[in-house]
């Protein structure tokens, strides 16, 4: 076990220990103990930075299930380190924030921090695993801990609904992702991502390639809330705000992004990957930003904004993948999109994290998050106001913040995409910059709404549950750190370029990077490029739209309320519920006769089908013994008596007829030379007939005969089917003797070995004595059972039935 | 002979199945009785109804009929007797407690709604 493994496992160990800290130190907020863990891991990860900067990687292996090719391999390269630092860095800030956000007296802090630590460890495991199965294990852990955190206030209905929804959707994706991983294993015969990447050119030839691609993408899209699987994210906002900041903006929702980036070297060789990832991303970008505007809840706005920003990163990864389809300098242009994706990923984590914390502060200090009740908070909360200003302007893509830079890079990539000349992109490529531009206008509008509606205008103090005032300093530390990063990285973006973005790009596009290193250079001012004009257009149109915003929001009313994705989700759940209930209650109706019909019906249909299919029916008349006159007479009696049972009017007749059948069978045994059978049959028939008579005396009279014809016809068909099948089986099994009977042996050794002359008896008690022993047991059990049934009568008390 | 017996067994199976599918508990029990007769005859016929002496060793017999199916049937007869008698008493007791022998009324999942 290396340091790397311990840093993945540390949160899990800590999660185990946290419940005990509350008992040791009652006065101290549990969060302080938790805070040490992400800080420690973050510091450790920082020590790896110089190595990663030199493009070295670190691989530590621990054997787990070697027979299945599953080993706990921890692997660090640029991409893994970037994500791990995001997770621990923001994790530390969120923990610090939560210490002041979560009330020690009112909340169950142990649960909260245990879930949070589980999540942190699982997320680190996802980004630092090289083995696909280990990655999947941690992946499901993140879904599970996210479920627990969303449902943290489990006495609220909306929390439970949101938790269930996110669980269903992300598990659906996770499961299909597992299918994709197994397909990858089938193709490459290894679970190691590095080894799979090294054989990428062969994998694309494999017939399972597209199958695994679709399944893996399904997993990534559900986790990263891409269209149309984004519906769980707005409902996940029922979680406590630190959780929303951490999971649903900075880390977990980026697990899908991570997966797409990580597996890009394998799948990006196919053109479909470029198309699907790029298009789904850009549609999500548009849909998220379009819908963010009509939200009233601040967290709702941020949820849709997260969806849209994730779509943007996703589409940039798709565009970056196009680099593999070019060579030389023209591929560099597309690699810039990958760099932009990484850059925006970092930026989004900073500004979105700070915005969520701001919303948490507003909620905490005013008691509401409804944008219609808020306004004019600027004077009450000047620090929060500043933080919110920086965060939302960065999100809108305004200079001098980091959001501006990544948005410029994004526009640049979409413009390159418009000029692409492969895969019919020359006709449809123009869609990318157009949709991106429109979406950015909406992004601008909701950022402005988020900021100005909350902090400017007239304060509506009478509508607020609490009197607003500035937050405690502890709550402000984390967002202040985040927004300082927004500014620092906005002004000096190149401090990120070499240290982390380049190694990450190298990890996403290893082949291209090895051939010709790509150097990221980000500058605030890069001349009057088309993308700058696009940004100016965004600001201009966005400003107009914001000013006239009450006038055009009517368009949201045109959107159908019945045919929304959420409605579809709810409807399909209830259909599933009702449908499966109906189906089950349809055939499991509690009527034994119906079950018997299924059993008999399936039995004879399958037997007949197999007999026909395998051509098994044979009739061999050579070994048939001649028919004797006595047997014929007995057979006629047998058949007549049993048919008469069907028409018997009284129970006595039917008992006597059954007795007739039994005695006839016993006579047949005589004719077929089975004296022991005849004896036994005779005795038992006598005993059971008397038992029948005894019991039937207490039973009711025969009910009036069944009148329904359908009932009779069904019974007749089933009965005939069974009878015919049994006859055919008997005939063909008699006609095909595959080997001779072992009875010759018994005939020879009965006297020599066992000292008896009656073969049947010797078989029963000597050769096959075990059968007889248990047959005696059966009789004993039946006797005890009957005795108990008659004797043991527990009185029913209080009319429970 | 085997062909004739096969047909007889088929008829017995048909009638037994028909009875088992009916509504009255009595007819079902009669049906199971018939079903076991049919099964016993089937085992015997499967072994072959060859001519030969009774399977008891004696000086003057050249060949014997197969003893093994007879041993199996003997076991089966006893077991089916045990089960049938248990079933009978069960029917009697359930009629005493529930007051009906109509299978339509003896349904399990009525209370689940």
Q: What is the pLDDT of residues A573-624, one digit of tens each?
A: 899 999 999 998 888 888 888 899 999 999 999 999 998 888 878 787 777 8
Is residue A579 assigned to a domain? no
pLDDT of residue A626: 82
Of all residues in chain A, the percent with pLDDT exceeding 90 is 27
Q: Are A351 and A486 in contact (CB under 8 A)?
A: yes
Do residue B109 and residue A589 have CB atoms under 8 angstroms apart?
A: yes
Taking each helix axis from N to C terminus, what angle separates A209-223 and A157-188, rounded to the nearest 10 degrees?
160
d(CA A26, CA A15): 18
Per-residue pLDDT band for A425 (boundaries 50, 70, 90) equals low
Q: Which residues pair with residue A372 across a beta bridge?
A: none
- Spell A691-715 as b/e; 16+ CB within 10 A means b: bbeebbeebeebeeeeeeeeeeebb
CA distance A696 to chain B (A): 8
- The pair of structure tokens assigned to A185 is 């294993």
Q: Are A404 and A486 in contact (CB under 8 A)?
A: no
Considering CB atoms only, which of A699, A727, A790 is closest to B91? Answer: A699
Closest CA to A478 of A60, A96, A85: A96
* Strands (DSSP E) found in A57-181: 58-65, 70-76
Contact of B98 with chain A, judged by CB distance below 8 Å, is answered with no
d(CA A202, CA A188): 9
Q: Please name the residues between 1 and 30 in chain B that touch chain A, using a CB distance below 8 Å.
A: 1-15, 17-27, 29-30
d(CA A540, CA A550): 18
Instruction: List the single range of A103-107, A279-283, A452-456, A765-769 with lowest mean pLDDT.
Output: A103-107
Which of A504, A520, A536 is the last residue before a domain boundary? A520
d(CA A722, CA A607): 10
- Domain of residue A442, residue span: 270-520
CA distance B98 to chain A (A): 11
Q: Please name the residues between 78 and 97 in chain A that touch chain B, using a CB distance below 8 Å.
A: none
Contacts of B64 (CB under 8 A, 6+ apart): A747, A759, B52, B53, B54, B55
Q: What is the DSSP letter of A254?
A: G
Instruction: List the single range of A306-315, A329-338, B43-52 with lowest mean pLDDT.
Output: A329-338
Per-residue pLDDT band for A731 (boundaries 50, 70, 90) equals confident
Give the Cβ contact number of residue A579 at 10 Å.
Answer: 11
pLDDT of residue A329: 67
Give the Cβ contact number of residue A722 at 10 Å.
Answer: 24
Contact of B105 with chain A, judged by CB distance below 8 Å, is answered with no
- The pair of structure tokens assigned to A90 is 């923001």
Residue spans of the domains in chain B: they are 1-49+66-98
pLDDT of residue A494: 80
pLDDT of residue A797: 47
Is residue A564 assigned to a domain? no
Name the residue with higher pLDDT: A341 or A557: A341
Is residue A108 assigned to a domain? no
Look at residue B36 and tell me whether its pLDDT is greater than 90: yes
Per-residue pLDDT band for A39 (boundaries 50, 70, 90) equals very high
- With tokens 């597992």, the residue in question is A178
B-chain CB neighbours of A672 within 8 Å are 44, 49, 65
Is residue A30 assigned to a domain? no
pLDDT of residue A707: 62
Give me chain A's average pLDDT, please. 85
Kindly report, residue by residue over A449-497, the tens digit of the pLDDT: 888 888 887 777 777 777 777 778 888 888 899 889 888 888 888 888 7
- The pair of structure tokens assigned to A556 is 């949201």
Is residue A664 assigned to a domain? no
- The pair of structure tokens assigned to B75 is 């076991």
Cis peptide leading into residue A284 (ω within 30°) = no
pLDDT of residue A800: 42
Q: How far is CA A425 from CA A421, A432, B4, B59, in A?
A: 6, 10, 79, 99
A-chain CB neighbours of B6 within 8 Å are 727, 730-731, 734
Q: What is the DSSP letter of B56?
A: B
Mean pLDDT of A344-352: 90
- The pair of structure tokens assigned to A714 is 């069904």
d(CA A776, CA B81): 12
Which of A496, A520, A544 is the last residue before a domain boundary? A520
The tally of CA atoms less than 13 A away on the side-chain side of residue A85 is 23
Q: How far is CA A616 from CA A121, A220, A619, A731, B47, in A?
A: 61, 52, 10, 11, 19
Q: Are A322 and A301 in contact (CB under 8 A)?
A: no
Contact of A754 with chain B, judged by CB distance below 8 Å, is answered with no
Taking each helix axis from N to C terminus, what angle separates A132-150 and A209-223, rounded to the nearest 10 degrees?
30
Kindly report, residue by residue over B56-101, the tens digit of the pLDDT: 887 777 788 888 899 999 999 999 999 999 988 888 888 887 777 7
Is residue A9 assigned to a domain? no
Is residue A467 assigned to a domain? yes
CA distance B88 to chain A (A): 7
Mean pLDDT of A771-781: 94
SS3 string, A49-69, reads HHHHHCCCCEEEEEEEEHHHC
Which of A498, A520, A542 is the last residue before a domain boundary? A520
Number of domains in chain A: 2
Considering CB atoms only, which of B6, B19, B42 is closest to A645? Answer: B19
The tally of CA atoms less than 13 A away on the side-chain side of residue A724 is 13
Taking each helix axis from N to C terminus, what angle separates A402-418 and A382-396, rounded to the nearest 10 degrees?
10
Mean pLDDT of A786-797: 75
Per-residue pLDDT band for B112 (boundaries 50, 70, 90) equals very low
- The pair of structure tokens assigned to A665 is 């069978």
- With tokens 């956000």, the residue in question is A101
Is residue A243 assigned to a domain? no
Mean pLDDT of A734-745: 80
Nearest CA in chain A to B61: A747
């Amino acid at each position: 076990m290396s340091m790397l493994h311990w840093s993945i496992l540390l949160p899990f160990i800590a999660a185990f220990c946290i419940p005990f800290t509350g008992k040791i130190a009652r006065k101290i907020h549990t969060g302080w103990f938790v805070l040490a863990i992400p800080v420690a891991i973050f510091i450790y990860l920082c020590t790896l930075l110089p190595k990663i900067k030199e493009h070295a990687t670190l691989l530590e292996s621990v054997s787990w299930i070697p027979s299945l090719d599953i080993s706990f391999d921890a692997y660090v390269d640029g991409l893994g380190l970037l994500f791990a630092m995001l997770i621990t860095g923001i994790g530390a800030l969120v923990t610090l924030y939560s210490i002041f956000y979560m009330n020690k007296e009112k909340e169950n802090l142990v649960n909260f921090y245990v879930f949070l630590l589980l999540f942190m460890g699982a997320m680190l495991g996802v980004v630092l695993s090289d083995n696909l199965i280990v990655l999947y294990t941690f992946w499901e852990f993140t879904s599970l801990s996210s479920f627990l955190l969303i449902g943290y206030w489990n006495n609220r209905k909306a929390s439970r609904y949101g938790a269930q929804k996110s669980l269903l959707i992300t598990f659906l994706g996770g499961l299909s992702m597992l299918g994709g991983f197994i397909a990858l294993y089938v193709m490459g015969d290894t679970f190691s991502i590095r080894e799979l990447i090294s054989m990428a050119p062969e994998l694309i030839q494999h017939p399972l390639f597209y199958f695994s691609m679709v399944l893996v993408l399904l997993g990534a899209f559900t986790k990263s809330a891409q269209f149309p699987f984004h519906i769980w994210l707005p409902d996940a906002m029922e979680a406590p705000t630190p959780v929303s900041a951490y999971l649903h903006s900075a880390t977990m929702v980026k697990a899908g992004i991570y997966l797409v980036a990580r597996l890009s070297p394998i799948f990006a060789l196919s053109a479909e990957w470029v198309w699907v990832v790029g298009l789904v991303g850009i549609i999500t970008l548009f849909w998220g930003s379009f819908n963010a505007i009509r939200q009233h809840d601040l967290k709702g706005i941020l949820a849709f904004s997260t969806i849209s920003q994730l779509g943007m990163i996703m589409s940039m990864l798709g565009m970056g993948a196009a680099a593999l389809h070019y060579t030389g300098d023209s591929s560099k242009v597309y690699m810039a999109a990958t760099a932009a994706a990484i850059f925006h990923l970092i930026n989004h984590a900073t500004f979105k994290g700070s915005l969520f914390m701001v919303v948490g502060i507003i909620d905490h200090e005013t008691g509401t998050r409804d944008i219609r009740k808020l306004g004019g908070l600027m004077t009450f909360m000047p620090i929060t106001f500043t933080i919110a200003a920086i965060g939302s302007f960065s999100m809108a893509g305004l200079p001098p913040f980091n959001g501006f830079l990544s948005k410029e890079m994004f526009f640049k990539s979409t413009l390159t995409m418009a000029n692409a000349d492969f895969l019919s992109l020359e006709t449809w490529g123009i869609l990318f910059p157009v949709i991106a531009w429109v979406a950015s206008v909406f992004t601008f509008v909701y950022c402005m709404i988020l900021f100005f509606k909350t902090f400017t205008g007239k304060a509506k103090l009478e509508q607020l549950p609490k009197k607003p005032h500035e937050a405690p300093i502890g709550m402000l530390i984390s967002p202040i750190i985040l927004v300082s990063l927004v500014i620092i990285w906005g002004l000096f973006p190149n401090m990120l370029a070499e240290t982390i973005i380049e190694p990450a790009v190298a990890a996403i596009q290893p082949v291209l990077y090895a051939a010709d290193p790509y150097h990221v250079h980000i500058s605030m001012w890069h001349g009057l490029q088309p993308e700058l004009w696009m940004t100016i257009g965004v600001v201009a149109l966005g400003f107009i739209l914001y000013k006239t915003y009450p006038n055009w929001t009517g368009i949201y009313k045109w959107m159908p309320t019945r045919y929304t994705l959420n409605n579809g989700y709810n409807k399909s759940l209830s259909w599933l519920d009702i449908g499966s209930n109906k189906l089950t209650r349809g055939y499991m109706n509690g009527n034994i006769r119906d079950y018997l019909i299924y059993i008999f019906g399936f039995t004879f249909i399958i037997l007949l089908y197999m007999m026909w299919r395998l051509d098994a029916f044979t009739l061999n008349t050579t070994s048939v013994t001649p028919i004797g006159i006595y047997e014929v007479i007995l057979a006629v009696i047998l058949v007549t008596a049993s048919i008469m049972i069907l028409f018997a009017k009284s129970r006595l007749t039917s008992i006597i007829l059954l007795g007739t059948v039994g005695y006839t069978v016993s006579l047949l045994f005589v004719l077929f030379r089975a004296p022991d059978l005849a004896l036994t049959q005779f005795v038992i028939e006598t005993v059971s007939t008397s038992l029948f008579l005894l019991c039937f005396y207490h039973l009711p009279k025969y009910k009036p005969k069944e009148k329904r014809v359908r009932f009779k016809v069904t019974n007749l068909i089933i009965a005939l089917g069974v009878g015919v099948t049994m006859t055919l089986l008997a005939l063909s099994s008699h006609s095909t003797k595959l080997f001779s009977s072992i009875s010759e042996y018994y005939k020879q050794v009965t006297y020599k070995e066992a000292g008896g002359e009656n073969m049947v008896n010797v078989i029963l008690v000597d050769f096959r004595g075990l059968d007889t022993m248990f047959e005696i047991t059966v009789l004993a059990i039946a006797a005890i059972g009957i005795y108990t049934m008659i004797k043991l009568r527990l009185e029913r008390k209080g009319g429970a039935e | 002979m085997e062909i004739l017996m096969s047909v007889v067994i088929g008829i017995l199976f048909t009638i037994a199945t028909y009875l088992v599918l009916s509504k009255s508990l009595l007819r079902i029990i009669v049906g199971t009785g018939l079903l076991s007769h049919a099964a016993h005859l089937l085992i015997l016929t499967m072994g072959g109804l060859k001519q030969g002496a009774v399977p008891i060793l004696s000086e003057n017999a050249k060949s014997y009929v197969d003893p093994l199916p007879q041993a199996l049937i003997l076991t089966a007869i006893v077991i089916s007797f045990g089960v049938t008698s248990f079933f009978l008493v069960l029917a009697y007791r359930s009629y005493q407690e529930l007051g009906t022998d109509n299978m339509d009324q003896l349904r399990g999942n009525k209370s689940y709604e």
